[in-house]
Amino acid sequence: MSATEQPCYTLINTSQDLESTSEVQLREDLEKGNDKAKAEALKKLIVMMLNGEKFPSLLMIIIRYVMPSQNHAIKKLLLIFWEIVPKHTADGKLLHEMILVCDAYRKDLQHPNEFIRGSTLRFLCKLKEPELLEPLMPSIRACIEYRHAYVRRNAVLAIFTIYKNFDFLIPDAPELIGKFLDVEQDMACRRNAFMMLIHVDQERALNYLSNVIDQVNSFGDILQLVIVELIYKVCHSNPSERARFIRCIYNLLNSSSQAVRYEAAGTLITLSSAPTAVRAASSCYIDLIIKESDNNVKLIVLDRLIALKDIAAHERILQELVMDILRVLASPDIEVRKKTLQLSYDLVTSKTINEMVLVLKKEVSKTHNEQDTEDVEKYKQLLVRTLHQCTMKFPDVANTIIPVLIEFLADKNELAALDVLVFIRDVMQKLSNLKDLIVQRLLDICGQIKSVKVLRATLWLLGEYCSSIEDIQNVMTFIRQSLGDLPIVDDEIRRSTGETRDEQDTAMTAPVQRLVTADGTYATQSAFITTNPTDKKNFNGLPNDRNRQPSLRTFLLDGDFFIGAALATSLCKLVIRHINLEIDTTKQNRFCAEAMFIIASILHLGRTSLPSKPMNEDDFDRMLMCIRLLNERLPITFQIFGQDCRTSLADMLTIKAQEQKDIEKKLSKEKAATIEPDDPIRFTQLLAANEFDEKEDILDFTLKQAIGTIGKKDDNIFSSSKLSKVTQLTGFSDPVYAEAYVNVNQYDIVLDVLIVNQTSDTLQNLTVELATLGDLKLVEKPQSITMAPHDFTNIKANIKVTSTENGIIFGNIVYDITGSQSDRNCVVLNDIHIDIMDYIVPSSCTDNEFRQMWIEFEWENKIVVNTTIRDLHLYLSYLLKSTNMRCLTPEKALSGDCGFMAANLYAKSIFGEDVLANVSIEKSAIHADAPVTGHIRIRAKSQGMALSMGDKINMTQKTGFKGVSLVQK
């Protein structure tokens, strides 16, 4: 807050349709009306005076007819009236009428009703006239000893403000309040008194705190918060006092108030970096997260723990508390769980990994019993990914994690199951000793898989990693059971005509479930097909017949032949491996013929009308190629399918792992403190007394964070100043000049409008009328003002933002000229365009999530690249900088110079909206100086987001690059 800006104590809401009342009517209501009429007249008078009108003749009317009233509502309104009414004559002398008002104040300070006394004392805090305050000082002093705490509390505040502004009126205020503090019992009164001493006599406050330091735990939370603030300020300015008060901060960590514990923990960490202090503060934070019900509080405290983790000296201490941090997973909020799992993974060590895995396995078991909601499904994904990361970091725990995660394959949550399969693929590739165990588990769970995507990926894994004849035979048995009787077309036609086969032919070789009957004998039931008499009546193509069929056949009849293509590839790999392992040529040929028969049966089915959807050409060609491969048995094709595919997979996984390591290395470098060659060396032993001299005051720091004035770095020094955000609203030749400073702070936009009266006339009822376009909402209408000739003033307007769209603020300034009989004058304002980039932040997601969102988002905006840039990489880097998006395509995929580039970009708004972009650009191979061409496709969930991002890209392409021409030269 600037030094010239007066603080606002009261906000008065005025109705938009408030009718103006004449002075005569106000006079009559104030003289002759009842209490209700007088109160209404006072309200109208206050609003009109706030709008700049003057009523000097009504001053005595109010003193004579309104002030004697004992109505509490009227007395409250009178206090507001006396706050805004002019109290001085034109030459600066105090009005004589104010002597009568002063006498009324004195009577109210001696009133038997505590509300009137207290509200009058609060009003006196706002008075800036020492002439009015001086006669009231004895009454104010007397209120310090009044029986009611409400009066004493406000009396302390009144003495505080009077002493701060006019200390000659009550020079012994610190001593008076010090004695009052010694005997006072009410916590609110003690808090106000202690707060005053902190600001006016800190030494007296410290002496009081030293005397009662053993009783601090029994104080109320409002007093404890002030004590924490005092201790921080004292220790920050004078570190030698730290040993005197740090024990008090330790004690406040056990306060009954959560707010006090939070502040005490933050203060303790800033005052001491000792391991015991960090451990105590961290334990306090964790306890707060667990006990606090508000998710916003949980997230804030979690952020404090994450900030602690980023400090190398504190990370080791937090590693010991990782099991306590995992207790936060009991919270149902998905964001809290996400941050907790990431923090726990960052802190886990070889000592705690086994305990952490046990906890996560219990969480996995809990999710099986919970109802499947969106948050539960996301939580399952988070658990799978965290366990995956733990396994890659500590391979020894893989054998305990895999059996638990494989159960997810039979789950309805497809996303979690696919993440499990990615995890299994990485483990089988890197930990070959677990391959047999995983294959066996996959064979056991295959029959329970309900998702076609999961089954397709499982078949690929089995085809890729089965390495023994027994496993290969088991996979082939499962495939035959899943497909049912072959050929599929003949079997389906037979079913549709109602024909039945002999019991011997219909007996399946599927695994059977053994059931015990009532007489103790065993009965058998197929795991894939169950028949009963009622089902036979529904054989004629009815829907429930589909539910009786084997799972793989069901997917094929539904028209999903992509699983057929994956199955054909897996069969080829199984045949190649079987030929390498089996010596008997007859068995080799039999196994190969069975695989070809299965593929041919699926091909035949795809060319009939039995499936819901026909087979596409890609799947048909793939399966036909597999049959040809098995028929010709060329060594080169066997080499490609048997070895080269595995080598390519290993290379891909190695590159991905290296990219992840590079990212982590980059982050660790960013966290590491860089020391320049000319930086002074600090010796702890020599500088212990001045430890905090170079540290910023955390109270000032958090205030700057709240108002959004830190963390804005820019290469151009002027772009981070206010001047870069000033928009001219009117011309220099207009009678009223206006310009606005636009301050965007997350969900709020504050317009600070400077208005200059460039005429020699007094402008009355000058109003800035604003309107918005887009998802912007004007919170309150700016009040009307009166401006003297060549005067200037500032008007602020608050605007709420509800979504990420390009918003426009427009309007005009209307005013009246004193003595003019014409209509109101109007000056039209220039439009203010709100930049979408203030709400967009770079973010990241996996390739699968990107593809899923790309399919789901229905709004697309295609932008044609129109630029003078001749370098593909330069264009991409500029695009990332101007749109605040992050490139998801790895750097290695973008490296090289092939004349073409494709990249995926992703960003998120502060409102949680996602925006995706696909960049496809190329450069002419013939003309070296030709600019980059191509297009950018933007997709978003909302139309406004897609259009706004497209407009931003088009606008930046027109304005050109900053410094690009220099780089190109």
- The ranges assigned to domains in the chain are 348-365+375-464, 466-494+550-643, 723-834, 838-959
Q: What is the DSSP string of 349-418?
A: -TTTHHHHHHHHHHHHHHHHHS---HHHHHHHHHHHHHHHHHHHH-GGGHHHHHHHHHGGGGSS-HHHHH
* Cα within 13 Å of Cα(627), Cβ side: 18
Q: Quick one: fold of 723-834?
A: Immunoglobulin-like (2.60.40)
Q: pLDDT (tens digit, 9 = 90+) per residue, 789-802?
A: 888 888 888 888 77
Q: pLDDT (tens digit, 9 = 90+) per residue, 763-774?
A: 888 888 888 887
- Span 808-813, average pLDDT: 87
Sign of the CA dihedral with 291 first, then 294, 295, and 297 last: negative
Angle of helix 398-406 relative to helix 353-369, nearest 10 degrees, comes to 10
Through-space distance between the first and last CA atoms of the chain, rounded to whole angstroms: 47
Q: Among 512-516, 552-556, 598-602, 621-625, which stretch is predicted with the lowest mean pLDDT? A: 512-516
Q: Given this model, what pLDDT does residue 536 score?
A: 38
Residue 39 pLDDT level (bands cut at 50, 70, 90):
confident
Beta-carbon contacts of residue 494 (< 8 Å; ≥ 6 apart): 501
Cα separation, 618 vs 621, in Å, equals 5
- Span 468-487, average pLDDT: 83
Q: Given this model, what pLDDT does residue 737 score?
A: 92
Tell me the CATH architecture of domain 348-365+375-464.
Alpha Horseshoe (1.25)
Residue pair 208/181 in contact by the 8 Å Cβ criterion? yes
Residue pair 921/932 in contact by the 8 Å Cβ criterion? yes
Q: Is 964 helix (H, G, I), strand (E, B) or coil?
A: helix
Residue pair 245/214 in contact by the 8 Å Cβ criterion? no
Residue 436 pLDDT level (bands cut at 50, 70, 90):
confident
CATH match for 838-959 among 3.30.310.10, 3.40.630.10, 3.40.309.10, 3.40.50.150? 3.30.310.10
Residue 705 pLDDT level (bands cut at 50, 70, 90):
low
Residue 81 has pLDDT above 70, yes or no: yes
Cα separation, 56 vs 23, in Å, equals 11
User: Which pairs count as long-range contacts for 510-513, CB under 8 Å and 24+ apart, including other chains?
Assistant: 510/447, 510/481, 511/447, 511/481
Cα separation, 448 vs 406, in Å, equals 11
User: Model-level pTM greater than 0.75?
Assistant: no
Residue pair 917/864 in contact by the 8 Å Cβ criterion? no
- Span 47-54, average pLDDT: 73
Mean of the per-residue pLDDT values for the chain? 78
Q: Among 107-116, 164-173, 402-411, 731-740, which stretch is predicted with the lowest mean pLDDT? A: 402-411
Residue 704 pLDDT level (bands cut at 50, 70, 90):
low
- Span 173-183, average pLDDT: 86
As a whole number of Å, the CA-based R_g of the chain is 39
